[in-house]
Structure 1
Amino acid sequence: MIIGIDLGTTNSLAAVWRDGKSELIPNALGDVLTPSCVSLDADGSVLVGRAARERLQTHPDRTAALFKRYMGSQKSLRLGKRDFRPEELSALILRALKADAEAMLGEPVTRAVITVPAYFSDAQRKATRVAGQLAGLTVERLLNEPTAAALAHGMHLRGAESRFLVFDLGGGTFDVSILELFEGVMEVRASAGDNYLGGEDFVQAMVEMFHERLNLPGRLRKDPVFAQRLTAQAESAKRALSTRDQATMRVMDGQDEYTLDLSESMLEQAAAPLLKRLRAPVERALRDANLRTSELDSIVLAGGATRMPLVRRLVTTMFGRFPAVDLNPDEVVALGAAVQAGLVVKDAALDEVVMTDVSPYSLGVEVGVRLDERSVSNGHFDPVIERNSPVPISRVKQYVPISDNQEALDLEIYQGEARMVRDNIHLGTLRVPLPRATRADCSVDVRFTYDVNGLLQVEATVHKTGQSVAVVIEGNPGLLTEAQIADRLRGLAELKIHPRDRLENRTLMARAERLYEQCRGDLREWLGAQILRFERLMATQDDRQIQPGRQELEKALDRIEQNSVFDGPSA
């Protein structure tokens, strides 16, 4: 069985193509959104999703979030006494989604289409594939998120030729892609983006504003528990301002309470630098596609952060029209991934659609520029494949050595847009043996071949001898080797995953513990008694007693959160 997965920075979700349509897969709690959070419980078991997110405030040293931003890097995150790579944490999210799908479908799920930001680098894409492998999934295709959003909106079903732009602002990344549909072919004309811009940055801007306006003590900036509480309040206020004109951030520190009333204009002021950053990738994509905004037939929104009114106003202003908002932006990418999964298995309900993509970055080599007969300026980047070239693609350029009688040509392969290679990403090296001859007689054809799965082959052919050497860029600095992947698989297999059928109770307990820490006085004492009562019910392992107890505790927690009162008389 194959499913589509949106592996997100803030939330992840899965969908399946069946009965001629995409269908979202609920998790063990009945939600379609699973928070991209992982936490280690006191007994060493792993909590994934909402239960882990609840522990961000109470156990920040044992909980990780936003790790998608570190995919493809050597960074590790410590949970308790154990270090995890971003691929491993992502694998735990994927494993949970896989289990949810198997529970719903009643059969094993072994294959997946996983979406990635269009602007993800080669290393980030390979790291995503590794995460799928660690989760026990064969990754059939990495699908760019904007392309998935276009599929969900049925853009591929439109009969007439059309051009549309997908504006995808998620929790941690921003993508913009321009796609064109003609004669059953959906072609990506251009992609641009920012891998470090998303809804979480708007939350952080609100956190900074809270500190500045209330002039909080410096020690609170270094307090991880206070920081998580403040971040949670900022996230809640950001969501509230999507539907209301006012919101309040309220955080306790011991006996001290800090409160800030917010308006949407205050949020817009705090987020002004972020809104400015959203414009640059849009303008770049339009330039690369050689299009004006008036030549676009539709603007499609994807990603939960596009719910913010200030973002929608920005989009409307930039394009002079209202964007398409008929699908839930949180769900649209997963729905599109399921369409692609249906295309992979050639479901009869889907008309075949040819999809072309582009290389999000330029790929090339390091060259020296001869200033005169005696001096050379080294370290320059010369693109062989320009960014936004349709893939699969093969391009060739000719180079000559710097000196006569040079024994070999060392081709240093890079990815990026900067003029100098020091500001780009090094992908690999290819050493080309040369015959003893003058520079002019040692010309070398360098061919770059790049496919839809992000696999790059570099081949060099020496004209004088006809000799060819080639390298396939499969690994990147910081990525796991096959031996390391096998070792990490064994490590993950040893972890105790919290039982899916008890996750609802554990999530509720994590929420209760978070609110207990925020309460004071009689209310705190009363809530402690309610938690103890529910723990005793769980100890009976009798669902007939646990279920009504769970409902009663949920209602109590709802009352506390709705009233936003954490001290005073008991509820």
Structure 2
Amino acid sequence: MTEIIVGIDLGTTNSEVAIVREGRVEVIPVVPGVRILPSLVGVADDGSLLVGEAARNQYALHPERSVRSIKRRMGEFASVQMAGKDYSPQEISAMILRRLRDIAEAHLGEPVGKAVITVPAYFSDAQRQATREAGEIAGLEVVRIINEPTAAALAYESCHSGARKALVYDLGGGTFDVSVVNLESDVVEVLSSHGNNHLGGDDFDQKLISFATDHLRERHDIDVGQHPLAMARLQHAAEAAKIILSSEPYATLSEEYLLEKDGVPIHLSVEVSRNEYEEMIEPYIAETLDAVHIALSGAGLTVADINEILLVGGATRTPLVQRRLEQELGMQPRAEVDPDLCVAMGAAIQAAVIAGGQAPTVLIDVTPYTFGTSALEYFNGQMYPFCFVPLIRKNTPIPVSRSEGFCTIFDGQSKVDIHVYQGEDPDALNNIEIGRFTIDGLRDAPAGNPLVTTFSLDVNGILEVTSREKETGLVHSITIDNAISRFTGDKLAEARERIDGLFGEQEGADRQPVATTTEASPSDDRRRLRVEAGTLIEKAERLLARAGTEDAEDLVNGIEVVKNQTEGSDADLKVAMDALADLLYYLDV
């Protein structure tokens, strides 16, 4: 008998859990007849935790006690508030994962301790590691992280045969990905990926919300944006109207007793046509089509080379999406596999492969980003110390390892700073620095002492960077999940205890422990925190150039506070970093 490993689609709007049993993929029902869990959490009046439909129902009444769309904040250093308490994005996601784990255990009648979890293809290393941490907090060993479009291709491939090239168009609640895949002889090979981690059905909702608030402003001279409870109810109305417009030509945004003005109740009832709605969201669809052509170019293919289009994600039910894809690519998209469920199904298929079950499909994935370091080279006619040197290029099949030779630039140089970047710009400072370390104790040698730097990217998208002095073998390295991780081993354990408490799990319950991140020493934690602070400061300084006067002043103050606290206690530095990260989030959205 094979071990139990479930597949989980941790979505922005909805999440699902699936398993392969007796050669068949089964999406496990949340309740009889319902296989989708809304990705919302909340705290009830009595302090108990709400996850799923109950949390969604509460959101319209108590948004301050509820959290939605947390996936869009994965990988950030900021916290979110729920019922007056601060939680990391990992902890909120862990509540959803924990609920899915409990659902699977109740259905299977056995403990579930391992999972394959999907993420958008364009998720960064920070976001992938945050997802892994969320799984560990939820009591799951995350045996593999795979890309959502790739998982969807596995689901489609499981019931079809024949060699073909497919374009997987994945438009979910909060993220968009497009991947070009080659399907042949039970092998799913990803040729290229492109996307946007902040584009999805949530943005469609916002257009409808703006439509409603404009109507109320014109008719009642009232700014609904100043009323959080009313905005939460508008969110609910917009989601309902969006769903109706997928199958009907008209929908009514309706909420009675939305708010009061001068003691008079104000009701919302405004009709929106599908044509009006499609005009609102057309720029978003156009952006996704641009991404389609970028992905095709990355794979070295043209539209004529594509045999089929696979639709993934609930937002692909929008008729405009299907119509524009057909116009652009000259073929009707396939959607016979439920677009809300196919990602979880693909994750379950990959889980079955890992568990040794009967699921022969082989997965070959690629990295959606270029990773590299910086070096002193000629740039725009002059020597520049931050020229970007790519080692692992975008769309390279993973796992992969690449090495490059570098050398010291001074006589007697005893150390070298290694910066790790993610991006495409030839100026490394315009890319995202995801980690750094120093190789210290180099031999006393003239300039030109050779070093070999190696980048290794595993199947979960976790990057390890090693630098070795060629003559002596002196080695220093960094694993990027640690460099960007919010949690040490102790913090993960604390977060798990916190989530267990919310779920009412008693201490000492009969459950197998799940492996967590290796604990770091206090000195390692301190060093890592200051690396994170430096990265945060650099991001803030890049944002200064396009910030308004008032925002720039806030940024400068935030940067100074973080700099001042780098010599202080870890606790004070974390507070300063969280404040700056929050400011960056609101200025960068």
TM bracket (short chain): 0.7 to 0.9
* Paired residues of 2:129 and 2:485 also in contact (CA < 8 A): no
Q: Measure how far apart 1:353 and its partner are.
A: 2.9
Aligned match of 2:299 in 289, 293, 312?
Answer: 289
Per-residue CA deviations over 1:161-213 (Å, capped at 9, x if unaligned) read 32111100010010111111344432111011100001111110111122234
Q: Which amino acid aligns with 2:323?
A: R
- Aligned equivalents of 2:226 and 2:388: distance in 1? 41
- How far apart are the structure 2 equivalents of 1:51 and 1:183? 44
What is residue 414 of structure 2 aligned with on the other side? 407
Q: Distance in 2 between matches of 1:404 and 1:156?
A: 63
Please tell me whether residue 362 in structure 1 is matched to residue 382 in structure 2: no
* Structure 2 match to 1:552: none
Alignment match, 1:215: 217
In 1, Cα distance between equivalents of 2:371 and 2:253: 46
| CA distance in structure 1 between the partners assigned to 2:66 and 2:333 by the alignment | 37
Aligned residues: 494
CA distance in 1, matches of 2:91, 2:499: 8
What is the CA–CA distance in structure 1 between the aligned matches of 2:365 and 2:159, rounded to whole Å?
14
CA distance, structure 1, for counterparts of residue 240 and residue 457 of structure 2: 43
Question: Of 184, 189, 198, which aligns to 1:187?
Answer: 189
Going from structure 1 to structure 2, the CA distance change for 1:247 and 1:283 (only over 3 Å counts) comes to: same
Are the counterparts in 1 of residues 157 and 183 from structure 2 also a CA contact under 8 Å? no
Letter in 2 for 1:207: I
Matched residue, 1:337: 347
Picking from 462, 473, 490, the partner of 2:469 is 462
Determine the structure 1 residue equivalent to 2:199: 197
How much has 1:78 moved relative to structure 2? 0.9
Deviations 1:78-99 (CA, angstroms, capped at 9, x unpaired): 1112111111111111111111
Residue 62 of structure 1: which of 60, 65, 69 is its match? 65
Q: Which of the numbers 427, 434, 458 marks the counterpart of 2:434?
A: 427
**Which piece of structure 1 moves more, 301-310 or 419-428?**
419-428
Q: Mean Cα displacement is larger for which, 190-199 or 333-342?
A: 333-342
Distance in 2, matches of 1:411 and 1:476, equals 13
**Residues 216-268 of structure 1 deviation map (CA, whole Å, 9 limit, x = unaligned):** 54531121111111111111111111111111112332312233211111011
Counterpart Cα distance in 2 of 1:259 and 1:314:
30
Q: Distance in 2 between matches of 1:14 and 1:177?
A: 23
**In 2: Cα distance, 1:150 partner to 1:233 partner:** 33
Give the counterpart letter for 1:494 in structure 2.
G
In the alignment, structure 1 residue 73 sits paired with structure 2 residue 76:
yes
Q: What residue in structure 2 maps to residue 384 of structure 1?
A: 391
AA matched with 1:248:
T
* SS of residue in 2 equivalent to 1:327: coil
Task: Provide, for residues 273-296 of structure 1, a one-character-per-residue CA deviation record: whole Å limited to 9, x for no partner.
Answer: 212221222111111100001101
- Within 5 A, what are the aligned runs for 1:261-340? 261-340=271-350
Aligned partners of 1:362, 1:39: CA distance in 2, in Å?
38
TM, length-normalised to structure 1: 0.82
> 1-side partners of 2:318 and 2:331: how far apart?
17
State the partner residue of 1:98. 101
Give the drift of 1:302.
0.4
Whole-angstrom distance in 2 between the partners of 1:2 and 1:187: 23
1:80-119 equivalences under 5 Å are 80-119=83-122
Deviation at 1:29, TM superposition (A): 6.0
SS at match of 2:78: coil
Match of 2:19 in 1: 16
- Structure 1 alignment gaps of length 5 or more: 499-571
| Larger Rg belongs to | 1
Matches of 1:321 and 1:480, distance apart in 2: 47
CA 1:30/1:372 → structure 2, altered by over 3 Å: closer, same or farther?
closer
Once residues 468 and 134 of structure 2 are traced to their aligned partners in structure 1, the CA distance between those partners, rounded to angstroms, is 36
One-letter code aligned to 1:287: S
Shift of 1:60: 0.7
1: CA distance, partners of 2:216 / 2:419: 52
SS at match of 2:482: coil
| Cα distance change of structure 1 residues 138 and 56 upon mapping to structure 2, 3 Å threshold | same
Distance 1:496 1:109 in 2: 16
Provide the identity percentage. 39
Deviation string, structure 1 residues 83-132 (Cα, Å, up to 9, x no partner):
11111111111111111111111111111111111111111111111111
Q: Tell me, what secondary structure is at the counterpart of 2:247?
A: coil
- How far apart, CA to CA, are the structure 2 residues paired with 1:25 and 1:211? 39
Give yes or no for the alignment of 1:234 onto 2:244.
no
The superposition leaves residues 37-56 of structure 1 with CA deviations (integer Å, 9 ceiling, x where unpaired) of 10111211101100100111
Change (3 A) 1:466 1:345: closer
Corresponding residue for residue 224 of structure 1: 228
* Secondary structure, aligned partner of 1:58: coil
Residues 57 and 126 of structure 1: CA distance in aligned 2, closer, same or farther (over 3 Å): same
Is the 8 Å Cα contact of residues 373 and 419 (structure 2) preserved in structure 1? yes
The question of whether the paired residues in 1 share the 8 Å contact of 2:399 and 2:459 is answered with yes
SS in 2 for 1:333: helix
Instruction: Find the residue that maps to 1:453 and give its secondary structure.
Output: coil
Pick one of 43, 53, 57 that aligns with 1:40. 43
1:417-476 Cα shifts (integer Å, max 9, x gaps)? 23333333222223234444443x323222212111223222223344454433333313
Does the aligned pair in 1 maintain the 2:125–2:481 contact within 8 Å?
A: no
Unmatched tracts of structure 2, length 5 or more = 506-589
Determine the C-alpha separation between the residues in 2 that align with 1:155 and 1:292: 26
**Aligned AA for 1:302?**
V
Q: Which amino acid aligns with 2:109?
A: G
Q: How does 1:509-528 map to 2 (within 5 A)?
A: none
In 2, Cα distance between equivalents of 1:478 and 1:445: 26
> 1:169·1:304 contact (CA, 8 Å) conserved in 2?
yes
Q: Tell me, yes or no, if the aligned pair for 2:13 and 2:173 is still in contact at 8 Å.
A: yes
SS in 2 for 1:43: coil
Deviation for aligned residue 1:34: 0.7
Q: Which amino acid aligns with 1:311?
A: V
Confirm whether residue 245 of structure 1 aligns to residue 249 of structure 2.
Answer: yes
Cα pair 1:165 1:178 within 8 Å, conserved: yes
Taking the aligned partners of 2:226 and 2:484, their CA distance within structure 1 comes to: 32
Distance 1:33 1:79 in 2: 23
Partner of 1:524: none
Q: Which amino acid aligns with 1:368?
A: L
Per-residue deviation, 1:214: 4.4
TM-score, structure 2 normalization: 0.80
The 1-side partners of 2:216 and 2:502 are apart by: 43
